[in-house]
Structure 1
Amino acid sequence: MAQGEPGRASSVNTVHGPTYGPVFQAGTVQGNVHVHHDTSPVHVVVPTTPDVRRSFGAGARVRVGDREYLVHDHAVEESYSADAATLFRRGRVSALGGGGTTGWLRQVEDRDDGWGGRALAAEHDLLARGNAPEVVQFHRDDRTTTLVTSWPRDRAGRPCDSLDVLVDQTPDHPLRWCGALAALCDALGAWHDLGVAHRGLAPAGIIVRDDGRAVPRDLGLAAHPARVGEHPGDHQAPEQRGRSTRGPGPWTDVHQVASVVHLLLTGRPPTTGTPLPVRAWEPGVPEPLATAVDACLAVDPPARPDVRWFGERLRAVHDRTGREEPSCAR
């Protein structure tokens, strides 16, 4: 048994194999640990993560309460938290029997009553206040919390694609997505009216419906307390990197949608810090659209317009260009 570090909460960790001498904060250790020291305790840190159980993946069947789902090969992920106390699973699924509903399944298995399951339950409660995405199933037992939300399908009954997949198929027509992303801004604005901010937007988490409207796949980080370092990657807003006196909120969604538009227009996400104007990268972008994107990428959150303002500018560009509506239809 290993004790916590001085000044921190004590924890009990699992050590497999012979252990000789005092061991502190060993973490989850698999294999032999030999500590030879005669006079004082030795501090051993082994930040290893145990192998993930591979019971979840494309083609797997997952039982949730009285229902069973078949896992697709889209966005399938199974991973442990950094402290190996929580196992996360997510992926697109089809319900087996009774209509074959397509859904987005997220499941959290906590060793104790951890934050992962509580956050998923809190998102379920938030979804009850809005109208999209629809909850297909919510189930919670002693250790596992599962939330399945609806995934749009096209007229032929096939799952609609996420924005990253569709853009890869039509990389030469970025303006055609302005109407879809205007609809996304409408959806986000409705959540903002309820005091809910997504804070985790990226192309893979935006689904384009068969009618051409883009919708968020889920509520992102809305049920998680805001913190510096959240949503790492290309579309992290400055306040999520700690570069603002104001923390993440609805203004973060504005920056993230603009970041996605910047990627579509220029082929690259905006630079960190004060980004270069869009037309420095791509002079052919219509001036009204470039100006709107630049405004929404302001480093200081109060300097950004709200998400509905941005949606109106995207819709105006769409109406002027007369591009065909994108959709998930192949």
Structure 2
Amino acid sequence: MIPDTGSADTWLMSSSFKCLDRSHQQQDQTACNFGPSFAGNFSGGRIADEHMNISYGGGDSLNGDMGYADITVAGITVPKQQMSLVTSASIRGNGIFSGILGLGMRGLTTSYTGSDPSNDGPATAKEYAPFVETMSNKVDPLLSVAMSRDEGRSSVSFGGLPPNVTTGEFATTPIRQMSVNGGPKHYMYYGLMPDNMKVGNTETNQTWSKPAGMLVDTGTTLNYFPADVAQTINNLFVPPAEYAGDGTFAVRCDAAPPGIEIGIGGKAVRINPSSLILPETKQSYADGDYCLSGVAANAGLSILGDAFLEELLVVFDVSDKKQMKFAQRTDKTS
């Protein structure tokens, strides 16, 4: 399962799920390319007349039954956690993961009453307590992420900080409440309001001396910024990155990335330069090897994804404090 701070629903692919294409025509399950599906059922029983309905960016969607199950992760058992077994999916996996451990807050849950997803809307939405809320009955309401390309140095910790991770000083900022379509504000995503953003030791442009809000999302690979900011940053690679379509940029795998700092809580949090070029995406051409840039353009919300989180320790405090803390890691050996 993907531990995802950008989603609050926990779900697994049911062994009988229908794999759909983007036009919602059924295909063989293998076309969806998930890992092993879940052959069991809800250990705590199915919830009658309630279902999950998620739409992701790019047109992907999931539908599923809702029920209760005991979930154990990192030695912590949360009894009767509400979750979903997916019955239909128009999303493509990577051949490894079979679901998501939703680590977002209550306002992000996507449960609806009734049995017809076409009727889903604000009037039928039904919030419930997600995993980060129910786990606080067992441990302190803290979630911490130490992410690295080195699997041995990567961990997700519940109830405290991970072992064997040393850091510099923490930068602390409140989690911002958000609203959808002008509705009431909720704690949903892990949103923050940065102080500024500096690239190459200069402000990207005047409007980003006070950037708009950003989301911190372990379920997103790249960092997404407005098109002009993303273009400015990608122009500062040496040699510059080139637009590759769909908001992404391609860059020479051996290029020199620019320095990027996000001002958070009065401190500068540096994006690790090695995270700004993704060697896993390398493709060879006549003029050299090209990789995906860690910075992409997005017309919607700005997102700090895995290309920001690598080599940081990030603490999500979902207690009454509702705050996030960021620190540069100092335990890297090479």
Q: Name the structure with the higher strand share.
A: 2
Q: TM-score per shorter chain, which class?
A: under 0.3
TM-score under structure 1 normalisation?
0.26
TM-score under structure 2 normalisation?
0.26
Q: Which has the higher contact order (CA 8 A, sep 6+)?
A: 2
